[in-house]
Chain A
Amino acid sequence: MRKGFVVLLALTIVGLAAIVGLAEMKYVTVMHGWPGEQAPAFQKIVSAFEDANPDITIIVEVVGRDRPALLATRLAQGNPPDLTPHPWIGTMKQWADAGEIVNLQGIVDTSDINPALVPIGEYRGGLYGLFIFPNVKSLVWYNPKEFAANGYAVPDTWNELQALSQEILDDGGVPWSIGLESGAASGWPGTDWIEDIILRTAGADFYDQWVAHEVPWTDARVKAAFEVFGDMFTDNFVLGGATGALTTNFGDAADPLFLDPPAAYMQKQATFINGFITDHFPNLVAGEDYAIFPLPGISADATPDGSIPLLVSGDVVTVFNNRPEVIKFAQFLTSETAANIWSSELGELSAYVDADPAQFDNPITRQAQEMLLNATVSRFDGSDLMPGEVGAGIFWTGILDYVSGIDLDTVLDNIEAVAQDAY
C-alpha cells in the first residue's frame, strides 16, 4: 500500500513538472505546400529560428496541391494554421475581407524586405502578406554547350528569338519544350506565357486593367496575346506539339534540353525549376550546362524605356493567428538570416533589401537577382491575383482547351462569362 502511494506521488510530481514544462513551450503551426528541395531548406530556416528561440517550437505541415481545400476546411472549423506561405493573392484578399487573417501593418517591421516587393502584400491600406519568397518567371532556360556546339546565339529581341527557333527547326531539332500538365492545376504554365506576352505586347498598364477585369477577356489585345502563344504550336516549335505540351508535367519539361541528343533547346520557366534540373541531372553545373536569358520584349510601344518587363511571383507569408510567438517567427522570416538560408540552399532569390547578388554561388541566381533588383517594370503573376474561379479555374482550363484545339473566341467567351460572375 505504501509502495503504491509512493509510486503514485512520484508519477504526480513528474506529471506536474511535465505540464509546467509544456506550458512554457510555445507552439507555432506552419503549413506550406513546397515539394522537393524547398521543404528541407525551409526546415533549415525553422531550425535556425528554434535555436535562437528555445522556448518556441515550430510544427510544420507539408501539404500538396490541395492546400486551398484544406485551408478552407480548417478556416471553417476555426483552427487554421498560425502561418502559411502561399501564392494566392486573390484568395488572400478574400480572407482579408472576411477578417480571417491578421493585418500586419505596424506589427511586423518590413524594413528588411526589398521595398519593390512589399506592396504585393498590401490591400486596402493593410499589410496581409509578407512577400519574402520571390520567383522570377520571365526566364528562358537553355543548354549553353548545345548552343555553342550548333552556333546558336542568345537572342536579344523577339524577332531574333523567332529566327533562332526557325533555325533550330531547319537544323532538324525542336526549339521549345513546354509542359502544361500539373495534376489538378494543369494549365498554369500557359497562363505565365500569356501574362509575359501581354506585358510585352500591350504594356504594364493594360496588364493591370486586364488583371482587375477592367477590360474584358474578349479584348483584341488579349486575343492577340493568346494567338502569339498559339502560333508556337502551329509553327511546330513545340516538342510533341499540342499533345506533348498537354501531357508533359511542368517539372519534367526541362529534361529534354539535357538529353543526348537534346530533344529541345529552350524552355520558359521560373527560377524554381533550377531545383528540378539538379534533381533529375545531379551532375549538371549551373551556368555551364544550363543557363538563362530573359524572354525578350516583343513590342517597342509596350515598354517605352526599352527595358524588359519582369513577371514575378512567389509566396507571401500570411498570418492567421495574432500571437507574439507567431509574429516573432514571421519577423524572423523577413530577416537576412532566413533569406540567406533560402537562397544558398536552393539557388532561389533573396527578398532581403540589401541582398548582394555577388554573394550567390549559383550564377543563375546571381543573374535573376540582378534582374529583380534592376527591373523598372515588374508585375506579379496575374492568375494568382485574380479570384479563384478565374485565376485558378477557367484561365487554366482555357489554356488547355485552346492548346487542344478549341476555337479561341469560344475559349475567351467562356473565360469572360465566368469572370463576370466572379469579380
Chain B
Amino acid sequence: MAGELQPSGGKASKNRARIGERIAARLDRSAPGRWVLRTGRAIARWLRSVRWNSWAFVAPALLLIGFFLVYPTVTTVVRSFFGRGTSLFGPNVEYVGLTNWKYVFTNEIMLTSLRNNALWAVLFTACTVGFGLVLAVMLDRVKYEKIAKSIIFIPAAISMVGASIIWKFIYAYKPAHLDQIGLLNGIVVAFGGEPLGWLIQRPWVNNLCLIAVGVWIWTGFCMIIFSAAYKNIPKALLEAARIDGANEWRVFRNVILPLLGPTAGVVATTMVVQVLKVFDIVYVMTNGNYSTEVIANRMYKEMFNYNNYGRASAIAVVLLILIVPFMIVNIRRFVSQEGGR
C-alpha cells in the first residue's frame, strides 16, 4: 500500500512520502479510516489516469459548444412545451404540454411544409448530386474544362438571397399584351405561348421553380467535389476497362460509380442537411405563400411575426430531429475514415 505513494526523488518529495506514510499508518488503525484511505487512493488513481493535458486543450471549445449549442438546444426543447409569448420563461408563459406538438403534426399549413421539405430533400439532393456527378465526369474530357467549371461554380459564391432575387426577376410575369420583363416568360412569349405566373402555380410548378433555384446554386459545389474525387481514380483502371472492351457507359457504371460511391455519400448527406433547413429561397421568392411553405420559414414566422415562441420551438426541434440521422451518418463515416489511418 505504501508502495503506491512512490516518491519521484528529491528531498521535498521524500518528505511528502514520509508524511504520507504517517497519515496512512494513522488512518489504517480504524475501520472508517481504512475506508477513507481506500477511496482516497482510488481518486488518486483516477486523477493519474485522466489525460489532463488533452482535456485542457479541448476545454475551451467544449465550453463554447456547451454554452452556444447544448444550452440553447435544451432550452428550446423545454420551451416547446410552453405556450405563446416572447419571453423564454416567466409569468406570462404557461405550460401547455403537447399542444404545440399536436399543432406541428396536424395543422394543415405545417403538413404542407413537411410535404414540401420532403419534396425538396428528394428532388434537390437527386438533382445536385446527379448533375454534379455527370458534369464532373463529362467536363474532364474537354479542353475548356476549367472555364466551364468556374462558370458553373459561380452561383455557389452568390448569397442565397441574391440568387433568389435574380430568379424572381427571371420568373417575373407581366400581362400578355405588355412587354415581358421576366426571362422565362420572354422565352415563352417569343415561342408564341402565353406568359405564366411561375411562382403562383400551385402546387407543383412553383415548388419545382424554387427547387430549380436551389439546384442552380449548389450543383457547382457538388461538381467540384466529384471532380476532385474523379481525378483521383487511377487512369490505369479506366484504361484496363476500356481495353477489356467496355463501352463508355459500362466504364461509367461499373468502374467510376462504385469508386465514387463514398464521395457521393458525403456529398449527398451534406446536401440533405443543407436542404432540410432551406429558408432564404422560399422567404424571398414567395414567403411560403401558394403552398410553398417550408419548416424553417414557418419557424421564422411563428417566432418573429406571431410572437409564439412555444410553437416556434416545437418546429425547431422537429427540424433538429429530422437532421440528426444524417449528422450521425456523416460522423460515423468520418470516424471510420479517421480510424482507418
Contacts and interface: CB of A to CB of B under 8 A. Distances in A.
B202 A404 contact: yes
B18 interface: no
A263 B306 contact: no
B287 A186 contact: yes
Contacts of B175: 239-241, 243-244, 263
A310 interface: no
Contacts of B204: none
B304 A72 contact: yes
Contacts of B7: none
A98 B199 CA distance: 39
Given A239-B175, A388-B307, A404-B202, A393 B301 contact: yes
Say what secondary structure dominates the interface of chain A: helix
B92 A98 contact: yes
A132 to B, nearest CB: 25
B172 interface: yes
Interface string A172-202: 0000000000011011000000000000000
Given A72-B86, A240-B175, A247 B199 contact: yes
Interface in B235-292: 283-284, 287, 289-290
Interface string A403-423: 010000000001000000010
A307 interface: no
A56 to B, nearest CB: 31
Nearest to A243: B197
B287 A184 contact: yes
A393 B306 contact: yes
B266 to A, nearest CB: 35
A69 interface: yes
B12 interface: no
A389 B302 CA distance: 8
Contact of A69 (B200, B202, B289, B305): B305
Contacts of A94: 307
Given A246-B197, A247-B200, A388 B287 contact: no
Interface in A59-78: 66, 68-69, 72-73, 75-76
Given A72-B86, A98-B92, A247-B199, A388 B306 contact: yes
A75 B86 contact: yes
A404 B304 contact: no
A372 interface: no
Contacts of B172: 247
B173 A243 contact: yes
Interface string B288-304: 01100000000011011
A317 interface: no
Contact of A68 (B200, B283, B304, B308): B304
A30 B185 CA distance: 43
Contact of B173 (A68, A244, A256, A404): A244
A400 B289 contact: yes
Interface string B182-225: 00000000000000110110100000000000000000000000
Contacts of A187: 289
B14 interface: no
A183 B284 contact: yes
A276 B173 CA distance: 20
A98 B301 CA distance: 20
A193 to B, nearest CB: 18
A397 interface: yes
Contacts of A247: 172-173, 197, 199-200
B290 A68 contact: no
Contacts of B300: 69
Max count, chain A CB within 10 A of own CB: residue among B87, B177, B290, B303: B290
B146 interface: no
Contacts of B173: 240, 243-244, 247
A327 interface: no
B174 interface: yes
B174 A240 contact: yes
Nearest to A396: B289
A404 B289 CA distance: 11
A256 B200 CA distance: 21
B47 interface: no
A72 B307 contact: yes
B138 interface: no
A404 B308 CA distance: 28
B301 A404 contact: no
Interface in B47-82: none
User: Which among B290, B300, B306, B308 has the highest number of chain A CB atoms within 10 Å?
Assistant: B306
B163 to A, nearest CB: 16
A311 interface: no
Contacts of B335: none
A243 B185 CA distance: 13
Looking at B87, B284, B307, B308, which has the most chain A CB atoms within 10 Å of its CB? B307
A330 interface: no
A392 interface: yes
B15 to A, nearest CB: 50
Contact of B304 (A69, A246, A263, A400): A69
Interface string A89-123: 00000100010000000000000000000000000
Nearest to A69: B304
Q: Which of B174, B175, B283 has the most CB of A within 10 A?
A: B175
Contacts of A183: 284, 287
Contacts of A76: 86-87
B176 to A, nearest CB: 8
A404 B178 contact: no
Contacts of A397: 289
Interface string B79-115: 0000000110000100000000000000010000000
B283 A184 contact: yes
A51 to B, nearest CB: 37
Given A239-B175, A243-B173, A400-B289, A389 B283 contact: no
Interface in B290-341: 290, 300-301, 303-308
List of 4 A-B pairs having minimum Cβ-Cβ separation, nearest first:
A240-B175, A69-B304, A243-B197, A247-B173
21 contacts: A68-B305, A69-B300, A69-B304, A72-B303, A76-B87, A184-B287, A186-B287, A240-B173, A243-B197, A244-B173, A247-B197, A256-B178, A388-B306, A388-B307, A389-B306, A389-B308, A393-B301, A393-B306, A400-B290, A404-B200, A404-B202
Given A69-B305, A388-B305, 16 more contacts: A73-B304, A94-B307, A98-B86, A98-B92, A183-B287, A186-B289, A241-B175, A243-B175, A243-B197, A244-B174, A246-B197, A247-B172, A388-B306, A392-B305, A397-B289, A404-B200
